[in-house]
Amino acid sequence: MFHKSHPQWYPARQSIRLDPKGKSLKDEDVLQHLPVGTTATFYFRDLGAQISWVTVFLTEYTGPLVIYLLFYFRVPFIYAPKYDFTTSKHWVVHLACMCHSFHYVKRLLETLFVHRFSHGTMPLRNIFKNCTYYWGFAAWMAYYINHPLYTPPTYGEQQIRLALIIFLFCQIGNFSIHIALRNLRPPGSKTRKIPYPTKNPFTWIFLLVSCPNYTYELGSWLGFTLMTQCLPVAFFTLVGFIQMTVWAKGKHRSYLKEFRDYPPLRSPILPFVL
Protein backbone atom coordinates (compact mmCIF):
# COMPACT_ATOMS: atom_id res chain seq x y z
CA MET A 1 0.00 0.00 0.00
CA PHE A 2 2.80 2.40 0.88
CA HIS A 3 4.64 1.54 -2.33
CA LYS A 4 1.56 2.32 -4.42
CA SER A 5 1.38 5.79 -2.91
CA HIS A 6 5.15 6.37 -3.09
CA PRO A 7 6.60 4.31 -6.00
CA GLN A 8 10.15 5.55 -5.36
CA TRP A 9 10.25 3.62 -2.07
CA TYR A 10 9.94 0.00 -3.10
CA PRO A 11 9.39 -2.58 -0.30
CA ALA A 12 13.08 -3.44 0.16
CA ARG A 13 13.82 0.22 0.97
CA GLN A 14 11.12 0.47 3.60
CA SER A 15 11.60 0.29 7.34
CA ILE A 16 8.21 0.41 9.06
CA ARG A 17 8.25 0.90 12.87
CA LEU A 18 5.86 1.43 15.74
CA ASP A 19 8.35 3.81 17.37
CA PRO A 20 10.75 6.21 15.62
CA LYS A 21 13.70 4.71 17.50
CA GLY A 22 12.38 1.15 17.62
CA LYS A 23 13.23 -1.88 15.54
CA SER A 24 11.84 -2.43 12.07
CA LEU A 25 8.78 -4.63 11.87
CA LYS A 26 9.32 -7.94 10.10
CA ASP A 27 7.77 -8.61 6.71
CA GLU A 28 5.83 -11.53 8.16
CA ASP A 29 4.36 -9.54 11.09
CA VAL A 30 0.55 -9.43 11.10
CA LEU A 31 -1.14 -6.15 12.01
CA GLN A 32 -3.68 -7.82 14.32
CA HIS A 33 -0.89 -9.41 16.35
CA LEU A 34 1.03 -6.18 16.98
CA PRO A 35 0.80 -4.42 20.38
CA VAL A 36 -1.51 -1.65 19.15
CA GLY A 37 -5.09 -0.65 19.81
CA THR A 38 -7.85 0.13 17.35
CA THR A 39 -5.62 2.80 15.79
CA ALA A 40 -1.87 2.80 15.24
CA THR A 41 0.78 5.20 14.04
CA PHE A 42 3.56 3.75 11.90
CA TYR A 43 6.87 5.44 11.23
CA PHE A 44 8.65 5.06 7.92
CA ARG A 45 12.38 5.23 7.33
CA ASP A 46 14.06 5.04 3.93
CA LEU A 47 16.80 2.40 4.01
CA GLY A 48 18.31 3.72 0.79
CA ALA A 49 18.91 2.00 -2.53
CA GLN A 50 19.15 -1.76 -2.08
CA ILE A 51 21.10 -4.54 -3.82
CA SER A 52 20.60 -8.29 -3.59
CA TRP A 53 22.89 -10.28 -1.29
CA VAL A 54 23.79 -12.63 -4.14
CA THR A 55 25.06 -9.69 -6.19
CA VAL A 56 26.93 -8.36 -3.16
CA PHE A 57 28.78 -11.61 -2.50
CA LEU A 58 29.55 -12.27 -6.15
CA THR A 59 31.08 -8.80 -6.42
CA GLU A 60 33.01 -9.06 -3.15
CA TYR A 61 34.50 -12.46 -3.94
CA THR A 62 35.21 -12.11 -7.66
CA GLY A 63 37.44 -9.10 -6.97
CA PRO A 64 40.00 -10.86 -4.71
CA LEU A 65 40.11 -13.85 -7.05
CA VAL A 66 40.98 -11.73 -10.10
CA ILE A 67 43.23 -9.25 -8.28
CA TYR A 68 45.36 -11.97 -6.71
CA LEU A 69 45.88 -13.65 -10.09
CA LEU A 70 47.06 -10.36 -11.62
CA PHE A 71 49.87 -10.23 -9.07
CA TYR A 72 50.56 -13.96 -9.39
CA PHE A 73 51.07 -13.70 -13.16
CA ARG A 74 53.08 -10.50 -12.60
CA VAL A 75 51.32 -8.42 -15.20
CA PRO A 76 53.19 -5.24 -16.24
CA PHE A 77 53.36 -2.11 -14.05
CA ILE A 78 53.24 -4.08 -10.78
CA TYR A 79 56.88 -5.06 -10.32
CA ALA A 80 60.02 -4.10 -12.25
CA PRO A 81 59.74 -4.63 -16.04
CA LYS A 82 62.25 -7.49 -15.97
CA TYR A 83 59.79 -9.52 -13.88
CA ASP A 84 56.78 -9.07 -16.19
CA PHE A 85 54.97 -12.37 -16.77
CA THR A 86 57.65 -14.34 -14.92
CA THR A 87 56.94 -17.03 -12.31
CA SER A 88 58.25 -17.41 -8.78
CA LYS A 89 61.01 -19.91 -8.05
CA HIS A 90 59.36 -20.87 -4.74
CA TRP A 91 56.73 -23.60 -4.88
CA VAL A 92 54.93 -22.22 -1.83
CA VAL A 93 53.98 -19.17 -3.91
CA HIS A 94 52.19 -21.40 -6.41
CA LEU A 95 50.56 -23.36 -3.59
CA ALA A 96 49.38 -20.13 -1.96
CA CYS A 97 47.80 -19.02 -5.24
CA MET A 98 45.94 -22.31 -5.55
CA CYS A 99 44.68 -22.10 -1.95
CA HIS A 100 43.62 -18.46 -2.26
CA SER A 101 41.84 -19.13 -5.55
CA PHE A 102 40.19 -22.26 -4.16
CA HIS A 103 38.89 -20.31 -1.18
CA TYR A 104 37.18 -17.63 -3.27
CA VAL A 105 35.89 -20.04 -5.92
CA LYS A 106 34.33 -22.00 -3.06
CA ARG A 107 32.73 -18.82 -1.74
CA LEU A 108 31.32 -17.97 -5.15
CA LEU A 109 29.85 -21.44 -5.65
CA GLU A 110 28.37 -21.41 -2.14
CA THR A 111 26.74 -18.06 -2.88
CA LEU A 112 25.11 -19.47 -6.01
CA PHE A 113 24.15 -22.94 -4.83
CA VAL A 114 24.28 -23.24 -1.02
CA HIS A 115 23.41 -20.11 0.92
CA ARG A 116 19.83 -19.13 1.71
CA PHE A 117 19.52 -15.53 2.80
CA SER A 118 17.04 -14.40 5.45
CA HIS A 119 17.19 -10.86 4.03
CA GLY A 120 17.00 -10.41 0.29
CA THR A 121 18.91 -7.16 0.04
CA MET A 122 21.40 -4.82 1.71
CA PRO A 123 22.02 -1.06 1.27
CA LEU A 124 23.86 -0.33 -1.97
CA ARG A 125 26.34 2.00 -0.19
CA ASN A 126 27.68 -0.95 1.85
CA ILE A 127 29.02 -2.73 -1.21
CA PHE A 128 31.67 -0.04 -1.73
CA LYS A 129 32.89 -0.44 1.84
CA ASN A 130 32.90 -4.24 1.61
CA CYS A 131 34.69 -4.31 -1.74
CA THR A 132 37.34 -1.88 -0.47
CA TYR A 133 38.00 -4.29 2.38
CA TYR A 134 38.17 -7.52 0.36
CA TRP A 135 39.78 -6.13 -2.77
CA GLY A 136 42.26 -3.95 -0.91
CA PHE A 137 43.49 -6.73 1.36
CA ALA A 138 43.74 -9.14 -1.58
CA ALA A 139 46.01 -6.70 -3.44
CA TRP A 140 48.13 -6.05 -0.34
CA MET A 141 48.64 -9.76 0.37
CA ALA A 142 49.20 -10.70 -3.25
CA TYR A 143 51.80 -7.96 -3.75
CA TYR A 144 54.09 -9.37 -1.06
CA ILE A 145 53.45 -13.09 -1.56
CA ASN A 146 54.17 -12.85 -5.30
CA HIS A 147 56.98 -10.32 -4.97
CA PRO A 148 60.24 -11.34 -6.72
CA LEU A 149 62.08 -10.89 -3.40
CA TYR A 150 59.64 -13.02 -1.39
CA THR A 151 61.31 -15.47 1.00
CA PRO A 152 59.71 -18.82 1.95
CA PRO A 153 58.65 -19.68 5.52
CA THR A 154 61.36 -20.18 8.13
CA TYR A 155 60.81 -23.88 8.72
CA GLY A 156 60.46 -24.82 5.06
CA GLU A 157 58.41 -27.75 3.85
CA GLN A 158 57.33 -28.93 7.29
CA GLN A 159 55.72 -25.57 8.05
CA ILE A 160 54.10 -25.39 4.62
CA ARG A 161 52.67 -28.92 4.78
CA LEU A 162 51.26 -28.38 8.28
CA ALA A 163 49.70 -25.11 7.14
CA LEU A 164 48.16 -26.80 4.09
CA ILE A 165 46.58 -29.49 6.29
CA ILE A 166 45.10 -26.83 8.59
CA PHE A 167 43.83 -24.83 5.62
CA LEU A 168 42.15 -27.78 3.87
CA PHE A 169 40.70 -29.18 7.10
CA CYS A 170 39.08 -25.85 7.90
CA GLN A 171 37.83 -25.33 4.36
CA ILE A 172 36.04 -28.69 4.49
CA GLY A 173 34.72 -27.82 7.94
CA ASN A 174 33.44 -24.45 6.80
CA PHE A 175 31.65 -26.02 3.83
CA SER A 176 30.12 -28.69 6.09
CA ILE A 177 28.70 -26.04 8.41
CA HIS A 178 27.22 -24.11 5.51
CA ILE A 179 25.49 -27.26 4.27
CA ALA A 180 24.15 -27.98 7.77
CA LEU A 181 22.81 -24.44 8.11
CA ARG A 182 21.22 -24.61 4.66
CA ASN A 183 19.37 -27.80 5.59
CA LEU A 184 17.87 -26.06 8.63
CA ARG A 185 15.89 -23.63 6.48
CA PRO A 186 13.42 -24.88 3.87
CA PRO A 187 13.50 -23.06 0.52
CA GLY A 188 11.66 -19.74 0.64
CA SER A 189 11.36 -19.86 4.42
CA LYS A 190 12.72 -17.53 7.11
CA THR A 191 12.20 -19.96 9.99
CA ARG A 192 15.05 -20.16 12.48
CA LYS A 193 16.02 -23.33 14.33
CA ILE A 194 18.78 -24.26 16.73
CA PRO A 195 21.63 -25.84 14.71
CA TYR A 196 22.79 -29.19 16.05
CA PRO A 197 25.59 -31.57 15.01
CA THR A 198 24.80 -34.00 12.21
CA LYS A 199 26.42 -37.29 11.24
CA ASN A 200 29.20 -35.29 9.59
CA PRO A 201 32.09 -35.11 12.14
CA PHE A 202 32.97 -31.58 11.00
CA THR A 203 29.63 -30.38 12.44
CA TRP A 204 30.29 -31.79 15.92
CA ILE A 205 31.85 -28.46 16.85
CA PHE A 206 28.25 -27.23 17.18
CA LEU A 207 28.39 -28.81 20.63
CA LEU A 208 30.71 -26.04 21.77
CA VAL A 209 30.30 -23.12 19.35
CA SER A 210 27.32 -21.13 18.05
CA CYS A 211 29.01 -19.99 14.83
CA PRO A 212 31.49 -22.69 13.78
CA ASN A 213 31.50 -21.39 10.20
CA TYR A 214 33.44 -18.41 11.56
CA THR A 215 35.64 -20.72 13.64
CA TYR A 216 36.62 -22.69 10.55
CA GLU A 217 37.04 -19.47 8.54
CA LEU A 218 39.49 -18.20 11.15
CA GLY A 219 41.34 -21.53 11.04
CA SER A 220 41.64 -21.33 7.25
CA TRP A 221 43.29 -17.91 7.38
CA LEU A 222 45.55 -18.94 10.25
CA GLY A 223 46.70 -21.82 8.04
CA PHE A 224 47.23 -19.45 5.12
CA THR A 225 49.21 -17.11 7.39
CA LEU A 226 51.41 -19.98 8.53
CA MET A 227 51.85 -21.13 4.94
CA THR A 228 52.97 -17.78 3.55
CA GLN A 229 54.53 -16.26 6.70
CA CYS A 230 53.42 -12.91 5.37
CA LEU A 231 52.58 -9.96 7.66
CA PRO A 232 49.72 -8.55 5.53
CA VAL A 233 48.03 -11.97 5.66
CA ALA A 234 48.40 -12.03 9.44
CA PHE A 235 46.87 -8.56 9.68
CA PHE A 236 43.97 -9.58 7.42
CA THR A 237 43.40 -12.62 9.64
CA LEU A 238 43.36 -10.44 12.76
CA VAL A 239 40.93 -7.90 11.30
CA GLY A 240 38.71 -10.72 10.03
CA PHE A 241 38.77 -12.40 13.44
CA ILE A 242 37.67 -9.18 15.16
CA GLN A 243 34.80 -8.67 12.71
CA MET A 244 33.68 -12.31 12.86
CA THR A 245 33.75 -12.18 16.67
CA VAL A 246 31.35 -9.21 16.58
CA TRP A 247 29.02 -11.11 14.24
CA ALA A 248 29.28 -14.32 16.27
CA LYS A 249 28.50 -12.57 19.55
CA GLY A 250 25.47 -10.91 18.00
CA LYS A 251 24.17 -14.19 16.61
CA HIS A 252 24.87 -15.96 19.90
CA ARG A 253 22.85 -13.34 21.80
CA SER A 254 19.96 -13.67 19.36
CA TYR A 255 19.97 -17.47 19.79
CA LEU A 256 19.86 -17.11 23.59
CA LYS A 257 17.04 -14.59 23.35
CA GLU A 258 14.97 -16.57 20.86
CA PHE A 259 15.41 -20.11 22.19
CA ARG A 260 14.95 -20.83 25.90
CA ASP A 261 16.42 -24.32 25.52
CA TYR A 262 19.57 -23.13 23.73
CA PRO A 263 22.61 -25.27 24.76
CA PRO A 264 24.37 -23.42 27.63
CA LEU A 265 27.87 -24.78 26.90
CA ARG A 266 28.22 -23.03 23.58
CA SER A 267 30.51 -20.03 23.09
CA PRO A 268 30.10 -17.59 20.16
CA ILE A 269 33.25 -18.45 18.14
CA LEU A 270 36.02 -20.07 20.23
CA PRO A 271 35.15 -22.99 22.56
CA PHE A 272 35.28 -22.04 26.27
CA VAL A 273 37.12 -18.80 25.41
CA LEU A 274 35.11 -16.34 23.34
pLDDT confidence of residue 186 = 74
Strand partners, 102: none
Task: Give the mean pLDDT of 184-200.
Answer: 83
122 plus 216 within the same structural domain: yes
Residues 118, 104: one domain? yes
Instruction: Note whether 105 and 175 are within 8 A (CB).
Output: no
Q: Is the pLDDT of residue 49 over 80?
A: no
Say what the pLDDT of residue 142 is.
97
Cα separation, 242 vs 32, in Å, equals: 41
**Same-domain status, 6 and 20:** yes
Q: Assess whether 68 and 147 both reside in one domain.
A: yes
Residue scoring higher pLDDT (192 or 259): 259
pLDDT, position 116: 79
Indicate whether 54 and 179 sit together in one domain.
Answer: yes
Tell whether 121 and 62 lie within a shared domain: yes
pLDDT > 90? residue 44: no
Q: What is the pLDDT of residue 120?
A: 66
Count up the domains in the chain and report the number. Answer: 2
Same domain for 57 and 131?
yes
In a domain, 82, yes or no: yes
Identify which has the larger pLDDT, 248 or 42.
248
Q: Given this model, what pLDDT does residue 118 score?
A: 66
3-state secondary structure of 54: helix
pLDDT in tens, 92-144: 999 999 999 999 999 999 999 998 776 667 788 888 988 999 999 999 999 99
**Are 103 and 211 part of one and the same domain?**
yes
Q: Is 23 exposed, middle or buried (0-12, 13-18, 19+ CB in 10 A)?
A: exposed
Helix (H) or strand (E) holding 231: helix 231-258
The verdict on residue 195 lying in a domain is yes
CA dihedral angle for residue 188, residue 192, residue 198, residue 204, rounded to 10 degrees: 140
| One-letter identity of residue 197 | P
* Domain identity same for 26 and 76: no
Assess if residue 27 is contained within a domain: yes
Does residue 266 form part of some domain?
no
Q: Is residue 10's pLDDT more than 80?
A: no
172 three-class SS: helix
Q: Is 62 helix (H, G, I), strand (E, B) or coil?
A: helix
Range with lowest mean pLDDT among 14-28, 60-74, 118-132: 14-28
- Residue 36 lies in domain: 2-46
Q: pTM of this prediction?
A: 0.87
Q: Is residue 272 part of a domain?
A: no
Averaged pLDDT for residues 6-30: 77
Do residues 269 and 244 make contact, with C-beta atoms less than 8 angstroms apart? Answer: yes
What does the alpha-carbon distance between residue 229 and residue 153 come to, in Å, rounded to a whole number? Answer: 5
Question: Across the strands, what pairs with 50?
Answer: 123
